Amino acid sequence: MSDIHQLGVADLAAAIAAKQTSAVEAAHHLLTRAQQHASLGAYLAFNEEATLAQARAADARIAAGERGPLLGVPLAHKDIFVTTDFPTTAGSRMLLGYQSPFNATVVQRLADAGAVTLGKLNCDEFAMGSGNDNSAYAPAHNPWDKQRVPGGSSGGSAAAVAARLVPAATGTDTGGSIRQPASFTGITGIKPTYGRCSRYGMVAFASSLDQAGPMARSAADCALLLSAMAGPDIDRDSTSLDHSAEDYSLALSQPREGASATQPLKGLRIGLPAEFFGAGCAPDVLAAVRAALAEYEKLGATLVDISLPRTELSIPVYYIIAPAEASSNLSRFDGVKFGHRAAQYDDLADMYQKTRSEGFGPEVQRRIMIGTYVLSHGYYDAYYLKAQQIRRLIAQDFQQAFTQCDVIAGPVAPTVAWKIGEKSEDPLANYLADVYTLSTSLAGLPGMSVPAGFGAGRMPVGLQLVGNYFKEGELLRTAHAFQQATDWHLKRPEGF
Amino acid sequence: MNQQVKKEASLLVHGYEVVIGFETHAQLATKSKIFSRAPIAFGAEPNTQACAVDLALPGTLPVMNREAVAHAIRLGLALGSHIAEQSVFARKNYFYPDLPKGYQISQFEIPVVQGGEVSFLLGDEKKTVRLVRAHLEEDAGKSLHEEFHGMSGIDLNRAGTPLLEIVTEPDMRSTAEAVAYAKELHKIVTWIGICDGNMQEGSFRCDANVSVRKPGAPLGTRREIKNLNSFKFMQQAIDYEIRWQIEQIEDGHAIQQATVLFNPDSGETRAMRSKEDAADYRYFPDPDLPPLVVSREWVEQVRADMPELPRQMAQRLVSDYGLPEYDAATLTQSPAMAAYFETAAKTSGQAKLVSNWIMGEVSRRLNAEEKDIADSPVSASQLATLIARIADGTVSNNAAKQVMDVLWSDESSQVDSIIEAKGLKQMNDSCALEAIVDEVMTANSPMVEQFRAGKDKAFNALVGLVMKASKGKANPQQVNDVLKQKLQ
Amino acid sequence: MSLTLTDIGRIAKLARLELDGPHSERMLGQLNGFFDIVEQMNAVDTTGVEPLAHPTAVIDHVSLRLRPDVASEPNNREANQKSAPAVERGLFLVPRVIE
């Protein structure tokens, strides 16, 4: 089979099950393809031996008559998930060559489902960034325009899926790190409710915000991955929620009440927050988003005007809480038990300082400084505590909004993907560009990005859909209906 | 009143009032760590009991041990504290090689155990020390300072061991009171089984906050003596610290707040260098751990399974067995000793006699061999049998001690067979005794005359001679009676 | 209010980061730039608002899960120390620790 790379998760699984190809052939094909497109900077690590071993095991299971939606399907993981078969760097020099003695729960669950891991994907250092240009190793490039960023922090995942290097990948989203790169590269990605997927084995950035999710070429494929990834991790993660996993693919085929063939979303109320459609959003992005919403109306949905009054505030609130937690989470990187240690130092204190200053990049150091400051004596109440209070108000705003609508829709980001290097000298500009994704993360709500057309420079634009807690099924169904009626998600970058 | 004033005055040291508060770290007796499934055992090979979570490897997360919480509840119930329905784990952030995460998971604003008190006898005086709180936290690892070509070695086996930090108000006014408090607390935590109490292994570590002031003056600046791991050192360290502080003040120096270590060799305390820079711990609620909820039902379950506490038991021994306060207090030093007493007292029906023997003969032998009563070669029921034989006049108290010697050295031996074998039975047959008395009287008629002439001393001499003639088997009381009777 | 170089020095020391002159200057500018947008938080009245530490607590009560007290982790020292910078006889080596 020659066009294996064009197949999505479901189609590839079917082809493998039908013996039109094999897990080993698929793995081979995609590993070769990844090498051909190494200049994208999507991958950080491979281990062909381990990959092919997994593939052979999957083929054996198939030969033995076993069937499964992910059996034999090649995937790749954001390098923020620890793995035993591959080094884990979290995009940081601090963890150059780090070998984890265990697999992240999410990695293990996908492996158990028979998925084959191709390698580890590039990301911003410790998932801090929105352009993947904070990777200590190499920037990842956007396959739609290699001069532009693929978004971040899950930039490698987005670039690889968009460039057809892999049918699907894992990502993590702390303030938009799945949704924004998905939007920038024209793929589909979902961040589930906080606590849906285990955080065990995810190198921690901001513990009360981090959440794993799938990135793929369709809502249907995301559903297949999420069904395997989600579910409580009672033994390993105290914040993983006690909600048993669902079969999200099933939700896709379940029609809404009062739905019809022509109007599958009849009765669905889509809330449009005024704050997401203001002057802050670029016209080309707004145009694509409004066109998508018009399509939704054709599908039977009704558009409702709502308000999320504290959207602006989510920027300072998020950039106080996330760095505060990060400053503490990153204290374990001290050159004692693992990772980088400075070559020269005078004494213990000097070893700590040199090790951490050499090992952490500028953005990570910036956030450690902010986080350390807002937690320090005399400032805790004014900053951290205040931010956590406003965080509750923001979460309550969403609950208020969900009394008027079933899902909330708007842009994912104010612009399309920007040029590499354009914002790297201006951290604040990066923070401000997260304005539409942060509040969802602060509230711990599920959100996704669905390809909705193109904007300036023929760069992809994503439509953000936000659901209430545990409504991943409804979100995916809403996205799926749109993708049944449109072909934006099928568009692919030239040369891929 | 006058009495009271004397007491207060007597506590002053060179005119200064001593103020002491305690922070005690009790290592909780659990099988696994507080936030990981790694085992807990003292003295294992370095880092063999530190799992990925304990080492803070990237991606690891804490999962709370239920038994550690149950232990905290037990302490709270034993000390009459409030057990918080909801308490919060916080991160205490600081860098130290034995602290793998760069922060310690502890409880800050809302601890699980709040308030309560510890009461004990200091001499004949009842003292009460109020508790501020007791909170759950994880222990750190250890830095080994032996030479590694100029480096220190870090062993993280102890990292993540569950601790309960028990904090008192500054209620203690003398070294003696402080040590008595520590001993009472040690007794309670071991009694209710939440801590093995092994101070050498660091299972029960005390930090003493010591300050001095002129009576009526505001609290003085305190210095914290860390890791006092024996009652003897505690005594020495606090005494030294009090003298040192008073000297400083008398010489016109102000006391600087400091953390100090006690050096048993020099008998002195010295400030720790590593703690010099004023710490800013940046406490905040640990986002990895939702609030700890303790339901009333759970508290009641634990209460139902609580053992009788030492003070309650002591009161019961007084009321049920008519023991003096002192005996009761002594016999409730440990659950083992109390159980030993009750078994022996019940079977023999001679509570006071049993008490005397435990506090005397048994304790003396145990101490000599540095044994715990749990390992006593003579069982409670054996002691009971022996005491019963004393009570029914079969053997004299002295003979009983000889029986005890045999029992002690040969655990298989039986009380009655020993009495038989050594012929220790008292002669209770009056005819035989009268015969002996007659012999002695005829053989010592001068003495008899002396007695009749009014020399009472002669009587005791005659008793002695009769006892001797009976090879100690005669019942002294009986000898008295028979002699008196015949001498009339 | 705005930060000074002294603050930057103090925070860097707390965070165990080494910032030379130019780095401190740049850091100062960037942090002050950020704290300008933080100012807007002061306008929000949060009296009586409980901080939200665990997102889903906004809809229902979250409480800590407790595990049974079972020691099931085997000794995995070799694998655990695989990426350690300096180990001898199973101990992690660090520059002398002074108490």
Query: A473-490 pLDDT, tens per residue?
Result: 999 999 999 999 999 999
Is residue C15 less than 8 Å (CB to CB) from chain B? no
The CA distance from A496 to the nearest CA of chain B, in Å, is 34
Q: How confident is the model at residue B274 (pLDDT cuts 50, 70, 90)?
A: low
pLDDT tens for each residue of B105-138 = 999 999 999 999 999 888 888 899 999 999 999 9
**In whole angstroms, what is the distance from residue A47 CA to residue B172 CA?**
65
Q: Is residue A460 part of a domain?
A: no
Confirm if A409 and A293 have CB atoms less than 8 A apart: yes
b/e map of B310-340 (b: 16 or more CB within 10 Å)?
bbebbebbeeebebeeebbbbbbebbebbeb
Note whether residue A431 is domain-resident. Answer: no
Contacts of C76 in chain A (CB under 8 A): 101
In the numeric block, which tokens belong to residue A315? 């920027």
Count the Cβ atoms, other than its own, within 10 Å of residue B351: 21
Task: Classify residue A38: in a domain, yes or no.
Answer: yes
Contact A327 C27 (CB under 8 A): no
Asked, for residue A115, whether it belongs to a domain, the answer is yes
Q: What is the pLDDT at residue B422?
A: 81
Minimal CA–CA distance to C81: which of A328, A86, B156? B156
Whether C16 and B274 lie within 8 Å, measured CB to CB: no
Question: For residue A45, what are the domain limits?
Answer: 4-257+475-490
Share of chain B above pLDDT 70, in %: 96
Model pLDDT, residue C99: 66
- List the end-to-end C-alpha distance of chain B, in Å, as a whole number: 58
Cβ within 8 Å, pair B153-C92: yes
Q: Is any Cβ of chain B less than 8 angstroms from the Cβ of C76? A: yes
Q: Which residues of chain A have pLDDT under 50?
A: none
Catalogue the E-assigned strands of B286-409: 292-293
pLDDT of amino acid B278 = 59
Q: Say if C46 is an interface residue toward chain B (CB within 8 Å).
A: no
Q: Which pLDDT score is estimated for B479?
A: 84
Distance from CA of A341 to the nearest CA of C (A): 6
A80 in any annotated domain:
yes
Confidence of residue B296 (pLDDT cuts 50, 70, 90): very high
Residues of B in contact with C59 (CB under 8 A): none
Residue B79 corresponds to which tokens in the numbers above? 């000390």
Confidence band (pLDDT; 50, 70, 90) for C6?
A: very high
Q: What is the pLDDT of residues A433-444, one digit of tens each?
A: 999 999 999 999
Chain B neighbors of A237, CB-CB under 8 A: 61, 63
Between B41 and A334, whose confidence is greater? A334
pLDDT digits (tens, 9 = 90+) for B396-420: 888 899 899 999 988 788 888 888 8
Q: Is B278 on the interface with A (CB under 8 A)?
A: no
Contact A181/A150 with Cβ under 8 angstroms? yes
| Nearest CB partner across the interface for A201, out of B59, B62, B93 | B59
For strands B125-138 and B117-122, give the pairing.
antiparallel
- For chain B, the chains sharing at least 3 beta-carbon pairs closer than 8 angstroms are A, C
Confidence at residue B1, expressed as pLDDT on a 0 to 100 scale: 42
Q: Which amino acid is at C10?
A: R
The overall average pLDDT reported for chain B is 91
How are strands ordered across the β-sheet holding B284-285? B103-107, B89-93, B284-285
A441 domain-assigned = no
The answer to whether residue A144 sits within a structural domain is yes
**Number of domains chain A is built from:** 1
Residues of A designated as active site? 78, 153, 177
In C, minimum Cα distance to B260 occurs at: C99
Give the CATH number, domain containing residue A110: 3.90.1300.10
Structure pTM?
0.92
Q: Beta-carbon neighbour count of residue B204 at 10 Å?
A: 24
Give the sign of the dihedral formed by CA A374, CA A377, CA A379, CA A381.
positive
Q: How much is the pLDDT for A341?
A: 98
**β-strands B82-83, A302-306: how paired?**
unpaired
Q: Residue B277: pLDDT above 70?
A: no
- Which of A104, A332, A376 is closest, CB to CB, to B102? A332
* pLDDT over 50 (residue B276): no
| pLDDT score for B241 | 97
pLDDT of residue B138: 98
What average pLDDT does this structure show over B463-473? Answer: 83
Rounded to two decimals, the ipTM of the complex is 0.97
| pLDDT band at B462; cut points 50, 70, 90 | confident
| Interface contact C12, partner A, CB < 8 A | yes
User: Cβ distance A85 to A117 under 8 Å?
Assistant: yes
Q: Is residue A168 one of the residues assigned to a domain?
A: yes
> Does residue B233 surpass a pLDDT of 80?
yes
What pLDDT sits at residue B9? 53
- Structure tokens belonging to residue A291: 């066109």
Contact A336 B63 (CB under 8 A): no
Cβ neighbors of B311 (< 8 A, separation 6 or more) are: B119, B332
Sign of the dihedral defined by the CA atoms of residues A225, A230, A233, A236, in that order = positive
pLDDT of residue B5 exceeding 70, the answer is no
Cis before B274? omega within 30: no
Least confident stretch, B168-182, B323-337, C75-89: B323-337
Q: Is B270 exposed, middle or buried (0-12, 13-18, 19+ CB in 10 A)?
A: exposed
Per the rule left: phi > 0, alpha: psi between -120 and 50, beta: everything else, A260 is beta
Q: What is the nearest CA distance from A352 to chain B, expressed in angstroms?
A: 9
Query: Helix axis angle, B380-391 relative to B397-409, nearest 10°?
Result: 160
Give the per-residue pLDDT at B7: 56
For residue A207, which residues of chain B lie inside 8 Å, CB to CB?
A: 286-288
Check CB contact of B263 with chain C, cutoff 8 Å: no
From B47's Cα to the closest Cα of chain C, the distance in A is: 6
- Per-residue model confidence (pLDDT) at position A303: 98
Which domains occur in chain B, in start order? 13-301 (no CATH), 308-421 (no CATH), 430-487 (1.10.10.410)
Q: Are A375 and B91 in contact (CB under 8 A)?
A: no
